[in-house]
Structure formats: structure tokens, C-alpha cells
Amino acid sequence: MNDNNANNNLGQNISPVPIQNNLPNQASVPQQGMIPNQVSAVPIQNEVPNQANAMPQHNVVTNQVGVPQQGMIPNQVNATPQQGLTFQFTDVNQQKNNNVDEDEVLLEAFVGENYNSFKTDSFNIGAFFLNTIYLFYRKMVLYALGISFIYFVLQFTPIPLFVLTLALVIFLGLFSNKLYLSFARKKVQSIKKKNPGSSLEQLKAICAKKGGTSIGFGFLGAFLEIIMMMIILFIAMFAILAAFLASFGINLSDIKFDDTEEYEPYEELLLLNVSGDTRNAFNLVAPTGFKETGNNVDYEYEYTYYEANNSPSCSFSFAASSNNSEFSSNEIVNSYAEFNDLKGISHSDVQTNTVNGIKWDSIKISDGKDTIYYVTKYNGNIYYLRYLIPSGSTSQCTNLVDSTIKGITTK
């Protein structure tokens, strides 16, 4: 009992010992070997204000967490600046703005003087009037070639040429500015990638050289435009000619332009070199309606049939040939058949008839008009009767063929 009282009195009479660096309402930093949450009696310097302490304060830090000591509680921040440690802050938005500004500067250098017009104008007068030539002038070669090719291909569609041309110029007038700016931005980005270490001024110089305009490309575009128009004009004229000839029954696809070697074997047989004395070898009485129109020479008869309105219609000539007498009449007529087969011209079969004691080999060739050849060999010479029936002639011309042959007799 007395011992307890004595201990209590002793505790009450002990003067408070000043403790340095005591944190208010905070457990002191645990030292090595201490149990967590155990209050340390070791004094700590750098005391925080507002702490009840009778001793003078030293090195007071206001509202700053103390330097972490060995064995400090986790999650306590060390505010003591470390030697040589620096902090840098990057403004991402500012960096993006700088890149955008740089791209705009390079884009303006690439476009050139009319940069603001390309950005603000909704219609390009130059592209409207010069069409693809303007694209060449702006060095948009691939764009110009692509549009020219599409325009050329569309010429072969049912769309009228005027409509195609109008659509092209309106399209280029409305959209060439946007096309060019898109083209220029791609070129600028390509230049930046190919020149990573270049300064802004160096990049501007490269963009100005690669972009802008080119008189040379403009002339190239004009030249190609002229060539394309000439090709289109040639095709159009060819189509008109084909249609015109087709109206007369002539098909251009059947015409062979290089047939010298192919036709050469028939030249001697088919060449009619008029000569001889036809009138002295044969008599000829022409059917009614035919009038002699030749020069009344000895080697040839020539007649033309006149319709009731006195307009000329069918005609025939009968003459001797002096250059192919070594061939028979049948060989010559069969050569006519083979020759026209090569040319794709229709003809009748070769026929052989004897009229008035004269053996005739004949063939009719139809190539928009009918031409009937009668060939005979008499006294070693070849004689031809060429009977022409034009397209649109009356049936009377056809009916008079047999009468014409019957009117020929030998003397």
C-alpha cells in the first residue's frame, strides 16, 4: 500500500523531460529493431511547430515532412531535394500546335503564291478552262493522266461528247482546289520523312522546289491533250466513213490493206488489157433500150441501157484481152472466184454455157452491185463481156443479160 502511494507520488513529482523533434499526434519514426506502433523515446531534430515542448526549437521545417530515417514507416514521402535531380514538364498540346504550324508553313511553301486562294476559293477558274492541262501545270501528273484516260475511255460510250466535256470541266472547277491541297499535304509529309534532320528553312526550300508550278509540264499536258483529241477525231471520222460506206453495202472489216503477195498470182489472169479486133471477130446486136456509148473502136463494144425517163441504168462492154491468151476461159473465171473469196466478196458458182456456138464461162460477183463476167476463148484470144447492174436498178437490167449474150455471134 505504501509502495503504491510512493510510486504515484514519485510519478507526479517527476519534471517533464523535454523531447526534441516531437511530432503532434504522430508516432515517432520507428528505429531499427523497434516493434511497430511503439513510441520511441529517441529525440528527433527538425521539430514541427505547435508541439508542446519546453526546449528551444532547432531547424524547424514548416509543413514539410521530415527526412526519412532508417526504418521509417512505408509511404512516407522524402521531400529532401536530391543533388543533381531535375524535373522537366512537356506540354503535349503545345507540341501538337507546333507541328501543325510547321506543316502549314511547309504547305504554304509548297503551294506558292496562291496558297490562300486554294484554301478559301470554292471554284478554280484555271482548272475549269484548261482542265487537265492545269493539273499538269501544277505537277499533278498522275492525276492528269488518270482523268485523261477515263475521259478517253468514256468517248466509246453512248454518252454525248458535249455532256462528257461539260461534266469534266465542271468537276475540275469545283474540286481541283481540294485535290491539289490533298496532293500537296501528302508531298509535304513525304518530304519531311525523307529529310528527318533538316531544319525548317531547309524543308521550306525543298517544298518550294518540289511544289509550285511548271511551264514545262503545262506544255507537256497541252501536247498530250492535242494528241488525245487527234485520236478521238480520227476514230470519229473513221466511224462516220464506215457508216457512209455501209450505206452502200461496203464493210470496212472486209478490206485488206496488205494483199500484194496474196493477190499476185491473179494479176496476170485478171488484168484486162483491151486490144485486138473484136468487131472484126464478132457481131453484136444489143437488146432494145441499150445505146452505144463507146468510141466505136474496133477492139470494143460499149453500151448503156436507158430507163423510160431517159436516165442511164445498167451497162456492158465486150472487148478482147491481149495479155492472158495462154489461159483458158474456165481458168480465168475460176481465178475470179478465188480472188473474190480472198477479199470476202460473195459470188455465184462458175457456170459454163454454149450460146450461138460460143462457149462461155461466167460468174456473177455481188459487192453492193452485181457484176457478171462472161469469158470465151476464140481463135486463140480471150474475150470478155462485163455486164454491170448498179444497186437499185430495175429488174429489166437483169432480164436483159441473156438477151445480150444471145445477141453476140461470130463472123
Buried b (16+ CB within 10 A) or exposed e, 100-121: eeeeebbbbbbbeeebeebeee
Q: At 76, which helix (H) or strand (E)?
A: none
Task: Report DSSP state, residue 269.
Answer: H
Query: Can you give the residue ranges of every domain in the chain?
Result: 1-28+39-62, 92-241, 260-410
Answer for the pair 106, 203: CB distance below 8 angstroms, yes or no. yes
pLDDT at 252: 64
Tell me what the mean pLDDT of segment 189-212 comes to.
Answer: 95
Return d(Cα 232, Cα 315) in angstroms, integer: 42
Q: What is the pTM of this model?
A: 0.42
Would you say residue 53 has pLDDT above 80? no
The C-alpha angle 84, 88, 90, rounded to 5 degrees, equals: 170
- For residue 17, the model assigns a pLDDT of 44
59 pLDDT above the threshold of 60: no
What residues have CB less than 8 Å from 293, skipping those under 6 apart? Answer: 302, 303, 304, 315
Return the CATH superfamily for domain 260-410. Answer: Mog1/PsbP, alpha/beta/alpha sandwich (3.40.1000.10)
Is the Cα torsion angle 152, 157, 160, 164 positive or negative in sign?
A: negative
For residue 367, the tally of other CB atoms under 10 A from its CB is 18
> pLDDT digit string (tens) for 284-333?
999 988 888 866 666 788 899 887 777 778 999 888 876 667 788 898 88
